[in-house]
């Protein structure tokens, strides 16, 4: 990971799969191996960001992180799981994987709360 080209990537808050999770306030996944095409997903990445995405990346799952005491409140963060496996092989599009990631997001929420 220390040599990943996307180690220092900065994506706009509402761009990428993370942006979809933030906008919709629910888990989102993306098949990064699909070429962009009319009517397809537009991840909203700037060219500088696109150039940093590692070539082997194929799928991403992003879940929102909320304050567990105020789940309707503001978004605290998003938690990403990315894979060099295809979406079908990684299973990141399966609800059981979303639910597991949401449990990890709850832990992140608790850690953020403990650090205040």
pLDDT at residue 25, as a whole number: 94
Predicted confidence at residue 10, as pLDDT, reads 75
In the predicted model, what is the mean pLDDT of residues 2-12?
A: 70
- What is this structure's pTM? 0.83
> pLDDT tens across 43-97, in order?
777 777 777 788 888 999 999 999 988 889 999 999 999 999 999 999 999 999 9
How many domains does the chain fold into? 1
Q: At residue 1, does pLDDT exceed 60?
A: no
Say if strands 75-83 and 28-31 run parallel, antiparallel, or are unpaired: unpaired
Q: Please calculate the CA angle 104-110-114 and round it to the nearest 5 degrees.
A: 145
CATH number, domain of 68, equals 3.30.450.40
pLDDT value at residue 38 = 59
Domain of residue 79: give its range.
16-114
Q: Does any domain span residue 8?
A: no
Residue 24 lies in a domain: yes
Backbone φ, ψ for residue 54 (5° rounding): -65, 140
Q: Is residue 9 part of a domain?
A: no
């Amino acid at each position: 990971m220390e040599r990943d080209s996307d180690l220092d990537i900065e994506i706009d808050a509402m761009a990428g799969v993370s942006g979809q999770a933030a906008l919709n306030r629910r888990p989102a996944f993306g098949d990064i191996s699909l070429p962009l095409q009319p009517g397809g997903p537009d991840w909203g990445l700037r060219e500088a960001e696109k150039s940093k995405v590692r070539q082997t990346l194929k799928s991403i799952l992003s879940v929102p992180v909320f304050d567990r005491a105020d789940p309707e409140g503001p978004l605290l963060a998003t938690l990403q799981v990315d894979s060099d496996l295809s979406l079908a092989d990684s299973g990141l599009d399966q609800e059981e994987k979303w639910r597991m990631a949401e449990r990890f997001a709850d832990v992140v929420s608790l850690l953020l709360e403990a650090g205040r």
